[in-house]
Amino acid sequence: MHAALDSGPDPGLPAAVLWDMDGTLVDSEKVWTISLHDTAHRLGGELSAAAREAMIGSNMARTMDLLYADLGLDPDPARQAETAGYLSARTGELFAQGLVWRPGAREALEAVRAAGWPMALVTNTERVLTESALDVIGREFFDATVCGDEVAHGKPEPDPYVRGAELLGVSPADCLAVEDSPTGTLAAERAGAAVLVVPCDTTVDPGPGRVLRETLAGLTPADVRAAFDMVTAAVR
């Protein structure tokens, strides 16, 4: 957890903004696609498009289950653990080559921080890879970070968002989560947070607990408040 920054007066609800990482802030899902295909080839198979889409936003354990099922392999825990190690290492190699910001993401982080909201990074990605990504994103934006290997259950379960809110000392119900995938959106909703959805490599259906937006480009503090208020009016 990072020390809270002195960002000015309390901006009111939402009490905090919780950001997903892959596909939301950085265009890293495309990096994962490369490493997942490399991993499938190493196992002697070809990853299907349907399985890859199902993996978007998933944690490592669920990704391994999906991968082995897609390739018709028995879910052997020891072999899956070895495969997960390879996938993590391969993805780390690709992260080190550079990550690309999603459109408007850095400016959105700057605007939300300047408005005074506490912020947490809430990702299903493991800590070791998240640390590499934070070198690009900027650790200074976040008062807390939660990774997929630091909670009992990753997204789509609510644990990561519950933990993120807890580290910031606020209720998940008073937070706005920013997500790009069905998996992450479901996790945030299950935690009780309002969700601003900016789809990246998959489609996210509309719902009362979420506000859809095409891009983070041009996001303002007023947009953050409006998204939170729209969900509050619809479901609470």
pLDDT tens digits, one per residue of 59-74: 898 999 999 999 999 9
Here the tokens at position 189 are 């909703």
How does DSSP classify residue 101?
B
The Cα–Cα gap between 139 and 127 comes to: 13
Phi, psi of 232 (to 5 degrees): -60, -45
pLDDT tens for 155-185 read 999 999 999 999 999 999 999 999 999 999 9
Mean pLDDT of the chain: 92
Domain extent listing, the chain: 16-28+101-235, 29-96
pLDDT of residue 121 exceeding 60, the answer is: yes
pLDDT of residue 7 exceeding 50, the answer is: no
Fold of 16-28+101-235: Rossmann fold (3.40.50)
In angstroms, the Cα distances linking 158 to 33, 184, 192, 211 are 25, 9, 8, 18
Return the CATH number of the domain spanning residue range 29-96. 1.10.150
- What pTM was computed for the model? 0.83
